[in-house]
Amino acid sequence: MNIKSRLTILSFLQFFVWGAWLITIGTYCLNAKGWSFPEFGAIFSTLAISSIFMPPLTGIIADRWVNAERLYGLLHILYGVVLFYVPQVNDPDTLYYVILAAMICYMPTISLSNSISYTILKNNHYDVIKAFPPIRVFGTIGFIAALWTTNLSGSKANSNQFLIGAVAAILLGLYAFTLPKCPPPKAISRNASIIEQLGLSAFKLFAKYKMALFFLFSMLLGAALQLTNMYGDSFITGFERQPQYADSYVVKYSTVILSISQISETVFILTIPFFLKRFGIKKVMLFSMLAWVLRFGLFAYGDPSLFGTSLIILSCIVYGMAFDFFNISGSLFIETNTDSGIRASAQGLFMMMTNGIGAWMGSTISGYVIGKYFILPNGDSDWHGIWLCFAIYALVVAVFFTILFKHKHDPKAVEAVQH
């Protein structure tokens, strides 16, 4: 099996083990268990909390002491073991700590998988700009496969979704040990500063104005990245309480409908090389922010009626641009603007700001705001107001990004990532 095929399997399983429960944990907690929005917001915030410190920490370890593929494999095995325990949990406070443990193991593997793929591709003389996006597409396909597996097996409202992820995670962990070696890029000089010895050099990037702004807006947009993952399935499933929609296929197969978002990702991922070279990182990120405005705005007017379903589907199509143009382009931006000796650490910082601090803000604040301002007198959720609120937030971020982030597009700088 050639290198690209092996990395394709890695990418597929990387997101399968997450997609098995990420979209449906809201249905599990809010609809099946009947827990409150603040309780669920706290549980979901564990994705962010772990991303604040684990990706930078594992990036440092991979840059300095341990082969990236070995660290990656170990983390996935531990992640799978923790997921096996979830069915034993029956209260939100305990589930908070169990999911936190799982996320401490899983979240750093996203940036590690990027670093591993970049390293192996470069070592085998591939053009990373051209070779990586098609490989990453299969990560999205893996996520879709997980969504369908969970929905069609009748697991979206029970704990079986976590068992599906657990089995796949352990298999992925074992598979990782068969990958080509990805040793730390360089030895530490005896004359190195204490910052270099501890692997903290990547934090110096915050001293550069452009990089600091990039990380700031990564954090602000990161607050929006997981909101539809948090609430999307619960939002659609909630229509079952309305008699005219109780037997709707949209409600019954909500996860399958939402998987259109990931199908859209597979298309937009393949367009990234063109858009990145043609428009540059600033415009590509701006396209992402405006796509988030549409993602939330279309949800605000969606329902299981024929017209409302078309809006939900359109929102799912827009999601591909919203998610990919930010995450993949941001990762490639880091790759083109940092020294090779700190790239794994820098990728970890990017994860920290987006899926860490940013996502913590989004999950925690959204749970509080919904619980306080968007619960109707009859106990139902005002989803129209919720999604419009999120859309306005994304628009405000886009406006400030356009004004403040100064970056001159240089196609040659983008091409440099392949060397």
Return the CATH number at 17.
1.20.1250.20
State how far Cα 238 lies from the chain centre.
24
256 within domain boundaries = yes
Does residue 190 sit within a domain?
Answer: no
Please tell me the predicted confidence (pLDDT) of residue 186: 62
User: Residues 165-184: what's their mean pLDDT?
Assistant: 92
In a domain, 217, yes or no: yes
- pLDDT (0 to 100) of residue 194: 45
Residue 195 included in any domain? no
**Cα three-residue angle 179-53-19, rounded to 5 degrees:** 55
Question: How much is the pLDDT for 413?
Answer: 53
pLDDT digits (tens, 9 = 90+) for 47-58: 888 877 787 777
Determine the pLDDT at residue 92. 94
**pLDDT value of position 184:** 79
Residue 87 lies in a domain: yes
Rounded Cα distance between 161 and 155, Å, is 5
198 inside domain: no
Whole-Å CA distances, 169 to 47, 79, 376: 17, 7, 40
- Quick check: 239 pLDDT over 70? yes
Calculate ∠ Cα 3-345-15, nearest 5°.
Answer: 50
Q: How many domains does the chain have?
A: 1
At 196-229, the pLDDT tens digits run 544 466 777 887 888 888 889 989 998 888 788 8
The answer to whether residue 230 sits within a structural domain is yes
Angle between the N-to-C axes of helices 359-373 and 383-404, in degrees from 0 to 180, rounded to the nearest 10: 140
In terms of phi and psi (left: phi > 0; alpha: psi -120 to 50; beta: otherwise), the region of 379 is left
Query: Per-residue pLDDT tens for 319-368?
Result: 989 988 888 778 777 877 777 667 767 877 887 788 788 888 888 898 88
β-sheet bridge partners, residue 375: 381
Whether 41 has a pLDDT exceeding 90, the answer reads no
Per-residue pLDDT tens for 265-323? 888 877 887 888 788 878 888 999 999 999 999 999 999 999 999 999 999 999 989 98
The distance between the two most distant Cα atoms of the chain, rounded to a whole number of Å, is 72
- Mean pLDDT rounded to a whole number for the chain: 85
**Residue 407: band (very low, low, confident or very high) from pLDDT cuts 50, 70, 90:** low
User: Residue 143 contacts by C-beta under 8 Å, 6 or more apart in sequence?
Assistant: 15, 16, 18, 19, 259, 262, 265
At residue 6, the pLDDT reads 94
- In the predicted model, what is the mean pLDDT of residues 402-415? 68
Residue with tokens 């794994």: 344
Q: Name the token pair of 322.
A: 């919203």
3-state secondary structure of 35: coil
Judged by DSSP in three states, 402 sits in: helix
Beta strands in 302-391 (DSSP E): none
Phi-psi region of 127 (alpha: psi -120 to 50; beta: other; left: phi over 0): beta
- State how far the Cα of 1 lies from the Cα of 21, in Å rounded to an integer: 30
Print the domain residue range for 210.
3-185+203-418
Amino acid letter, 127: D
- Cα(346)–Cα(360) distance, integer angstroms: 20
Judge contact between 205 and 215, C-beta under 8 A.
yes
Find the range with the poorest average confidence among 59-68, 251-260, 293-302. 59-68
| Spatial distance between the Cα atoms of 265 and 139, rounded to a whole number of angstroms | 10
What would the mean pLDDT of 110-126 be, rounded to a whole number? 86
Q: Which residues pair with 381 in a beta bridge?
A: 375
Residue 144 lies in a domain: yes
